[in-house]
Amino acid sequence: MKYKIYSGFKYLAFAKALFILSSCNDSSRLEQEIAAIPIQSEIKLFHEEFAQATPDDLTSLKKEYSMLFPQRFADSVWIAKLTGADTIQMVLENAVMDRKFDYQKIHDEVDNVFRHVEYYFPEFETPQI
Clarify whether residues 94 and 54 are in a common domain: yes
Number of domains, the chain: 2
Clarify whether residues 57 and 21 are in a common domain: no
- Amino acid type, 80: A
- pLDDT tens-digit readout, 98-113: 988 899 999 999 999 9
- pLDDT tens-digit readout, 50-109: 999 999 999 999 999 999 999 999 999 999 999 989 999 999 999 988 988 899 999 999
Clarify whether residues 75 and 111 are in a common domain: yes
Clarify whether residues 44 and 97 are in a common domain: yes
pLDDT for residue 15 is more than 80? no
Half-sphere exposure of 102 (CA within 13 A, CB side): 5
Clarify whether residues 32 and 47 are in a common domain: no
Clarify whether residues 3 and 55 are in a common domain: no
* Domain, as residue range, for 24: 1-36
pLDDT the model gives residue 50: 94
| Distance separating alpha carbons of residues 79 and 57, to the nearest angstrom | 10
Clarify whether residues 78 and 122 are in a common domain: yes
